[in-house]
């Protein structure tokens, strides 16, 4: 179900804030027309006002409210064969299953890749097969299939290679596979050019000839739909007359994890994946996920925030600076002892990654300060031979947040080539910029999607690439900045921020990419306590005029404009904006505010 189209609302200011601590105006997310829609939803459905407001902000009509609040796979997932190439893919994999062929699985080293590999291999193992899994080493192999790896898998006896979350641009590797007589099926979601590499089938909703409309799903979503198609084909062939049919729904915890961590839009089918997946995850049936949840001391029901900021970074840590296969291995295993060992190792690697990231970010920000000289950049391209290639994606994400524009961070190797990763802002398609730069010869290789991209570049061409990319994104960044505002869902006091309110709001979730968390302002609240904790975070307590108190955190705000403003404002009334969440301490839910902006009482800074 897609939201109804509604004409833009007139801009309505919130608390008179035209320039906050972060330089943004505050605006009412609803506007007049959506406010009217919210009243209509509340009257026709009997839903609480806050739920009606959140639905109206998403342009959900009153008659669609109940279905929106209860997203289901049955209603939202189309027939998997609508994906171009799915019939051939399911048929070839079914042939391999029926004949007991050796299947090689090649996956990417990020969370989307690890979860894709885990659900695919769990399915095959349930049928009695033992797939040979290959997760590339970030430094030795780079991204995606390569001829050497393909040769090793063929030499080990594989007759079918299935690539997950990669392969759409692997021409050289798949030519080698064809030469060796190794069939290839690719399940991916990255943007594709007109020409595709040689495969039995390449299933990718972002193929230019795919009309499924599913280009927003992650690779793990494509993989899950492929398993649904494969399951149907095997049922048609009579396999389950003597073999127990695998439980596909039990894999949805991993589908949810990969979907959230790949930051794809949480709309339509993705909402169903995540909603149902969180229910599965709550049961802790996946030994690897349960072990990781224990290591991070995750208490209470899992949320997209836990997936994106606690579990995901640790699964990624192996691929960034350690053994790239650790994440997929953890998610695919059933041995609780070994799962516990791997979870502890991933947690250790994540702490090491945090140190490397902080050092690189300090260096990058110093470079950028010199380069931009106080102006607002359209794009950032920072490079250093001191950076670990595994953390450049994180550095680029931090630079994007800091300067509110697309950013690339590039680690330069001894061979004179740079391995880079980029992150973008809404409205600027970074994947297309990288693909065009490859076509022009500015990059050795590269790819990605609208919000994230990777590249390999000769060091001597970095300045040229920066200049080209700036011309491509300049207008989009300018438009994004012109429209930039903090969109507010409502005003609360510390007393009104209750557990019941948050549980009510969560019915509209899951929240994430393209589904912003509800954001509230707390007018004229005093900052009665503030100190720096952890990795430059601010721990706060705010109080309303009548004495109600609320614990809060401002992440990575220390020594930044927001943190400086909050520290200077201790004891004074200020307007504070943030997201509400639940912190489950010793089994009891407690309300906590994540502060994202603040402004003085008055007309702003």
Per the structure, how many domains does the chain have?
Answer: 3
Q: At what angle are helices 336-372 and 287-295 packed, to 10 degrees?
A: 60
> What is the band of 505 on the pLDDT scale with cuts at 50, 70, 90?
very high
Pairing of strands 183-187, 160-164: parallel
Q: What is the CATH number for 327?
A: 3.90.1640.30
Q: Assess whether 266 and 151 both reside in one domain.
A: yes
Q: Assess whether 211 and 124 both reside in one domain.
A: yes
Instruction: Give the domain-ending residue among 441, 457, 482.
Output: 482
Q: In Å, how far are 394, 410, 427, 443, 573 from 466, measured between CA atoms?
A: 19, 12, 19, 11, 44
In-domain check, residue 360: no
Query: What is the predicted pLDDT for the residue at 551?
Result: 96
Q: What is the CATH number for 382?
A: 3.10.310.30
Query: What is the predicted pLDDT for the residue at 3?
Result: 42
What is the per-residue pLDDT across 528-586, written as a single tens digit (0 to 9) for each? 999 999 888 999 999 999 989 999 999 989 988 999 999 999 999 999 999 999 887 76
pLDDT reading at 605 higher than 80: no
Q: Assess whether 297 and 434 both reside in one domain.
A: no
Instruction: Give the domain-ending residue among 432, 464, 482.
Output: 482
Q: For the ranges 11-15, 78-82, 84-88, 237-241, which has the lowest average pLDDT?
A: 11-15
In-domain check, residue 521: yes
- What would the mean pLDDT of 365-385 be, rounded to a whole number? 90
pLDDT reading at 178 higher than 50: yes
Range of the domain at 276: 76-346
> What is the band of 191 on the pLDDT scale with cuts at 50, 70, 90?
confident
Cα separation, 521 vs 205, in Å, equals: 39
In-domain check, residue 235: yes
- What would the mean pLDDT of 200-208 be, rounded to a whole number? 97
What is the per-residue pLDDT across 135-171, written as a single tens digit (0 to 9) for each? 999 878 878 899 999 999 999 999 999 999 999 999 9
Q: At what angle are helices 430-440 and 462-482 packed, to 10 degrees?
A: 150
Query: What is the predicted pLDDT for the residue at 150?
Result: 98
Q: Assess whether 459 and 492 both reside in one domain.
A: no
In-domain check, residue 501: yes
In-domain check, residue 2: no
Cα separation, 255 vs 28, in Å, equals: 34
Q: What is the CATH number for 511?
A: 2.40.50.460
The candidate with the shortest Cα–Cα distance to 487, out of 519, 463, 462, 458, is 519
Query: What is the predicted pLDDT for the residue at 222?
Result: 98
Q: Assess whether 454 and 543 both reside in one domain.
A: no
* Cα R_g (the chain), whole angstroms: 24
Query: What is the predicted pLDDT for the residue at 448?
Result: 80
Long-range contacts of 297-302 (CB under 8 A, 24+ apart): 299/584, 299/585, 299/586, 299/587, 300/582, 300/584, 300/587, 300/589, 302/278
User: Of residues 583 and 601, which shows the higher confidence score?
Assistant: 601
Instruction: Give the domain-ending residue among 482, 505, 540.
Output: 482
**Residue 345, both tokens:** 């190792």
Quick one: 88 exposed, middle or buried, by C-beta within 10 A (0-12, 13-18, 19+)? Answer: middle
Looking at the chain, the whole-number percentage of residues with pLDDT higher than 90 is 84
Q: Assess whether 541 and 581 both reside in one domain.
A: yes
**Residue 466, both tokens:** 């920066």
pLDDT reading at 75 higher than 90: yes
pLDDT reading at 329 higher than 50: yes
Query: What is the predicted pLDDT for the residue at 7?
Result: 52
Q: Assess whether 93 and 233 both reside in one domain.
A: yes
Q: Assess whether 201 and 170 both reside in one domain.
A: yes
Query: What is the predicted pLDDT for the residue at 9?
Result: 57
């Amino acid at each position: 179900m897609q939201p109804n189209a509604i004409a833009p609302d007139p801009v309505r200011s919130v608390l008179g804030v035209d320039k906050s601590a972060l330089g943004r105006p505050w605006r009412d997310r609803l506007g007049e027309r959506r406010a009217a829609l919210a009243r209509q939803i509340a009257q026709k459905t009997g839903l609480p006002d806050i739920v009606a407001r959140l639905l109206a902000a998403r342009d959900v009509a009153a008659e669609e409210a109940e279905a929106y609040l209860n997203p289901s796979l049955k209603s939202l997932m189309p027939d998997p064969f609508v994906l171009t190439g799915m019939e051939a893919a399911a048929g070839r994999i079914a042939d391999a299953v029926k004949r007991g062929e050796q299947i090689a699985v090649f996956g990417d080293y990020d969370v989307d890749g690890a979860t894709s590999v885990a659900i695919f291999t769990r399915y095959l193992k349930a049928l009695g097969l033992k797939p040979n899994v290959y997760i590339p080493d970030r430094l030795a192999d780079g991204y995606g299939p390569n001829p050497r790896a393909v040769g090793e898998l063929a030499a080990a006896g594989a007759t079918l290679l299935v690539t997950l979350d990669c392969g759409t641009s692997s021409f050289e590797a798949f030519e080698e596979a064809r030469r060796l007589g190794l069939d290839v099926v690719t399940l991916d979601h990255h943007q594709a050019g007109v020409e595709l590499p040689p495969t039995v089938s390449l299933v990718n909703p972002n193929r230019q000839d795919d009309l499924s409309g599913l280009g927003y799903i992650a690779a793990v979503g494509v993989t899950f739909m492929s398993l649904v198609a494969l399951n149907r084909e095997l049922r048609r062939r009579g396999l389950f007359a003597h073999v127990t049919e695998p439980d596909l729904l039990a894999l949805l915890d991993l589908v949810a994890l990969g979907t959230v961590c790949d930051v794809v839009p949480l709309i339509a089918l993705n909402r169903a994946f995540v909603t149902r997946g969180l229910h599965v995850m709550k049961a802790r049936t996946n030994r690897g996920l349960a072990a990781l949840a224990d290591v991070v001391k995750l208490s209470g029901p899992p949320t997209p925030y836990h997936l994106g900021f606690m579990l995901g970074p640790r699964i990624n840590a192996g691929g960034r600076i350690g053994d790239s296969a650790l994440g997929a291995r953890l998610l695919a295993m059933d041995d609780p002892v070994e799962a516990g060992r791997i979870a502890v190792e991933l947690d250790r690697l994540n702490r090491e990654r945090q140190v490397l990231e902080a050092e690189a970010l300090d260096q990058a920000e110093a470079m950028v300060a010199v380069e931009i000289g106080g102006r607002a950049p359209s794009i950032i391209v920072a490079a250093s031979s001191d950076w670990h290639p595994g953390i450049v994606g994180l550095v680029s994400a931090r630079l994007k947040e800091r300067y509110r524009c697309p950013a690339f961070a590039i680690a330069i190797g001894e061979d004179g080539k740079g391995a880079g990763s980029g992150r973008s802002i809404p409205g600027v398609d970074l994947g297309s910029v990288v693909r065009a730069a490859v076509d022009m010869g500015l990059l050795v290789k590269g790819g990605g999607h609208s919000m994230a991209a990777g590249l390999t570049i000769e060091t001597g061409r970095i300045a040229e690439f920066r200049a080209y990319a700036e011309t491509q994104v300049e207008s989009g960044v300018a438009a994004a900045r012109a429209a930039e505002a903090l969109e507010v869902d409502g005003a609360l006091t510390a007393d009104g921020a209750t557990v019941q309110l948050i549980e009510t709001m969560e019915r509209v979730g899951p929240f994430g990419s393209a589904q912003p968390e509800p954001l509230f302002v707390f007018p004229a609240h005093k900052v009665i306590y503030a100190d720096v904790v952890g990795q430059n975070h601010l721990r706060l307590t705010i109080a309303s005029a009548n004495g109600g108190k609320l614990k809060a955190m401002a992440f990575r705000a220390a020594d930044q404009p927001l943190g400086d403003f909050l520290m200077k404002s201790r004891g004074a009334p200020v307007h504070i904006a943030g997201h509400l969440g639940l912190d489950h301490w010793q089994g009891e839910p407690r309300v906590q505010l994540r502060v994202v902006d603040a402004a003085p009482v008055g007309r702003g800074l």
